Structure 1
Amino acid sequence: MDISEFPSPSKSFQHFSQRSVKVDGRRGRMVMVTACGKQVIMSRINLSQRIVIESGIYQRLSLTEIASRIGISRASVSKEIRMNRTPAKGSKPHGNDCRFANECEEKNLCCNFDCKRKCVWCFDYNCKELCNKYDNSPCSVLQKPPYVCNVCSRRRNCKCDRFYYMANQADAMSKKRYSKARKKTHADKDELKRIYSIVSPLIRKGQPISHIYAEHGDEIDVSPRTLYRYIDMGCLKVNNFDLRRKVSYKQRKKKREESEAFQNQKFRQTRTYLDFVTYIEKHPEINVVEMDTVKGCREQGKRMLTLLFRKTNLMLIMLMRDGKAATVVEQFDYLTSLVGVENFRKIFPVILTDNGSEFKYTQELEKTDQGERRTRLFYCDPQASWQKAQLEKNHEYIRYVLRKGKSFNPYTQDNMVLLMNHINSTRREKLGGKSPFEAEDRKEVKLFLKMLGLHTIPSDEVNLNPTLLTK
């Protein structure tokens, strides 16, 4: 077959042949220099290089010439072709894989001279066991470069198994193999057992992965993402149900438009989220505190008042007898009497909360009975809890110990102190592996925490399971 019958080099090949490729000997990397002089580091063979390989095969170039055009070794080109070539099965009469099966005229190999059927079509005997001419060796063309049938003159009439090299399919095969390889567990059984012995007891205590890595990261030889994958694959005898966040996320709801009546509520005027953003832009260094309440169950009873310092994720929990606005004011008055107005103003300079009725006594919260200002209060937009997302997310730690629907009535403030100690001793990835207790360095806050009876729990003793508070 004349070479003119085969496709000419593609535009892609012509485009990339104008580029020069050099090898960075110091680091062993290939660097492609584009027409505009830009250097591109190449790690694995990409689609552009495969186009050059395919075009080189059709041009009947040697593997050495192809390798020089894309700046890799001849062995790499040879390996690429053989690994990513596309197979095309040949004709196999009755499943017979002999390379001569299509032309075979042999009869009566079984010595049954009454049979007029060709042995290759026999259902009773296998000519593989009877015929001396049987040969299932691959075509000799595939045993030498370029190891494919792209330019073979007999390929259209050949009945043997064939292989073709096509850049797009080779690239897809390579990516699929690479993806599949990354899904496998590269750690051996002993390594998995060692990781399991470290991680499993701590996960069962309710500790998040970020906390475990902050304390035992040097002992675990895989990344957090790989550990999540091992758990998902079932390699560590713990599953996704042991990881609360893995199964607890819900789809966010669309934001609803604010009603005019809601906008006109007196306690929100000059204290909207837009006002908050404007205030923070004028005072960028100020410490923001997010505030909310947590219900135990639908019945009337005790509630938690939660306060979270944005910069350190330190969360305070005050147990209230009910969820009334006057009770929230009482908590503010109690904390003010504990540290004084001046220190309260330093610890809680700006508070961002939602639009619950328990926070509607704005004047009483912002000022003391004597009229001294102790804080500034701002409100989120309606149906926009994401505006105080850190506190909403931190509530997960409370639910680890006290499930939804469980009444808070049996508990006391001492129980909340114990809960705060364990939550605030949990190391966080966003804090660089520190716990909120460790991240907080303000003197007035440290003194305040000491007055509340808060202290750090040793990392391996952190317990975020319901066993922490059993009542």
Structure 2
Amino acid sequence: MNNSNDNTKATYNQIDLKDRTAIEIGLCRKESIKEISVITRHDRSSIAREIKAGRTFLKGDYYCDNDCRDAEYCKKSHLCGDSSCHMYCATCSNDCHNYCSEYRSLKCPLPQKPPYVCNACHKRKYCQSDRYFYSAIKADQLSKKRRSEAHAGAKISDEDLKIVDKVVYDGIKKGQPLAHIISVHSDEIPVCKRTLYNYIDEKILRVRNIDLRRKASYKKRHKKHPNGIAKQSFRKGRTYVDFTAFMEDKSDSVVTEMDTVKGKKGSKACLFTMFLRRNSVMIIFIMEDGTQESILKCLDFLEVGLGLEVYKRLFGVLLTDNGAEFKDAEGIELTKEGIRRSRVYYCDPMASGQKGRLEKNHEYIRYVIPKGKTFTGYSSADITLLMNHINSTIRESLNNRSLYDVIPDDDKDMHKLMKLLNMEEIMPEDICLTPQLISPVPRLIRKAGRHHD
């Protein structure tokens, strides 16, 4: 019958302070490594390695730090062949043991054999040779230090680290997200994203935390009283509760989120954005102003360019916020002839997270056109280029693919939309999400003045 309490059964758990204390006591009692292994329930080889790794070294008291028996009286010189040296070899900093045939060491040979320490030696107080002592507390401190050092620094070769540093630095300079860089250069980056963040935190790479946009913390948002907007007539039958009820038996892929991105305060120009949940494609229009008429003009352009049936399939369900530019619900839902082309629903007041995927995508716009900058001066071609770079960026949420990779070849509706909006894929290496991508054309302002003949 097997005895579950058999103390001789070895286990392979990590040696802790309790085990080290038992080792120290066993060494002082002159117990063998085998006897200590039975007490601690660790393998004998593990105990031996622990003793040698955790022991403390005390240097012996030798004449001029030379452990030869005859060092104090030795008058030999020039053993190394250096005739310009005027010192005796026994006192020279060079190791004369490599040259002298009469070298006899004073070092005690016992620490080279089990138990590898002098804890139980009766001569330890008077011995002048090199000595080793095992202390449980010091051994535990050394073990923790070794583990800490083992996890510090980069775990790749210097050559690989230089490649990683260059790839990440070049990508960040172009405004590319870290996930995009890792996906595109997976063959050159042998570490995961979390490890890259650790390298940046430890300043192993040239990129610093200040270069990473996502390292900035969000400001705390203050809630406002929502009753004013919630009771307005345009929301009747179109609230988020109504949206949830309508979508109960439908796929989330039929929904398109809408929003606007404002420019500099006092500037009328803004962006109208749409996000198709079916494939995460974002559409961006530039508008001279953020009025209801400008929104309807963009939607009418899509309807006419795609045809009513294709428009219904792509933009049949719209979800937006409560901005003044979206209050003309009937104009959004109906064609000029009064035919229904879509259904529009409004998020709860101060609940932008209900269309959070579009809000998240707005970050990419701000990489290129920072908040507080005017949209005046940007052309439709500029915004189309920005849209193409954003949609070509590789996303973790799409299993490290770009939006163009997830659009099926047989999706005729999407390909018709892409052709209408001049949507083209940008090569991963050429992705740029910095202000250098596009620059606004400065407006010419004529100043009134006197005419000189």
Q: Is 2:327 the partner of 1:349?
A: no
Q: Is 2:363 the partner of 1:392?
A: no
Following superposition of structure 1 onto structure 2, how do residues 21-420 of structure 1 map, counting pairs within 5 Å?
45=14, 51=18, 54-55=21-22, 62-65=32-35, 67=37, 72-81=42-51, 83=53, 145=115, 163-165=134-136, 174=143, 177-246=146-215, 248-253=216-221, 256=223, 258-420=225-387
Q: CA 1:57–1:172 in structure 2 vs 1: closer, same or farther (change >3 Å)?
A: closer
CA distance in 2: counterparts of 1:374 and 1:153, whole angstroms: 98
Give the residue type in structure 1 aligned to 2:135. Answer: Y
Shift of 1:209: 1.5
The TM-score, its normalising length taken from structure 2, stands at: 0.73
Alignment RMSD (CA, Å): 3.9
Q: CA 1:416–1:71 in structure 2 vs 1: closer, same or farther (change >3 Å)?
A: farther
| Aligned 8 A contact 2:334 2:340 in 1 | yes
Shift of 1:266: 1.6
CA distance in 2: counterparts of 1:261 and 1:17, whole angstroms: 76
Shift of 1:429: 1.4
Give the residue type in structure 2 aligned to 1:462. Answer: I
- Indicate the larger mover: 59-68 or 288-297: 59-68
- Secondary structure class of the residue paired with 2:189: coil
Gaps of 5+ in 2: 63-90, 92-105, 125-130, 441-453
Shift of 1:242: 2.5
Shift of 1:277: 3.1
CA distance in 1: counterparts of 2:232 and 2:121, whole angstroms: 84
Following superposition of structure 1 onto structure 2, how do residues 425-464 of structure 1 map, counting pairs within 5 Å?
425-441=392-408, 442-464=411-433
| Aligned 8 A contact 1:286 1:349 in 2 | no
- Secondary structure class of the residue paired with 2:248: helix
- Secondary structure class of the residue paired with 2:259: strand
- Secondary structure class of the residue paired with 2:218: coil
- Secondary structure class of the residue paired with 2:392: coil
CA distance in 2: counterparts of 1:198 and 1:341, whole angstroms: 46
- Indicate the larger mover: 194-203 or 277-286: 277-286
| Aligned 8 A contact 2:306 2:417 in 1 | yes
Q: CA 1:266–1:84 in structure 2 vs 1: closer, same or farther (change >3 Å)?
A: farther
Shift of 1:162: 6.6
Deviations 1:106-154 (A, max 9, x none): xxxxxxxxxxxxxxxxxxxxxxx9xxxxxx999x9998549596x9999
Give the residue type in structure 1 aligned to 2:407. Answer: E
- Secondary structure class of the residue paired with 2:258: strand
Q: CA 1:56–1:294 in structure 2 vs 1: closer, same or farther (change >3 Å)?
A: same
Give the residue type in structure 1 aligned to 2:289. Answer: D
Give the residue type in structure 2 aligned to 1:228. Answer: Y
Q: CA 1:217–1:365 in structure 2 vs 1: closer, same or farther (change >3 Å)?
A: same
Deviations 1:311-332 (A, max 9, x none): 4321110111111122212211
CA distance in 1: counterparts of 2:263 and 2:390, whole angstroms: 18
| Aligned 8 A contact 1:52 1:66 in 2 | no
Give the residue type in structure 2 aligned to 1:229. Answer: N
| Aligned 8 A contact 1:16 1:52 in 2 | no
Give the residue type in structure 1 aligned to 2:390. Answer: I
| Aligned 8 A contact 2:258 2:320 in 1 | yes
CA distance in 1: counterparts of 2:268 and 2:387, whole angstroms: 21
Shift of 1:199: 2.8
Give the residue type in structure 1 aligned to 2:236. Answer: Q
Percent identity, aligned pairs only, is 36
| Aligned 8 A contact 2:20 2:139 in 1 | no
CA distance in 1: counterparts of 2:35 and 2:256, whole angstroms: 67
Give the residue type in structure 1 aligned to 2:46. Answer: S
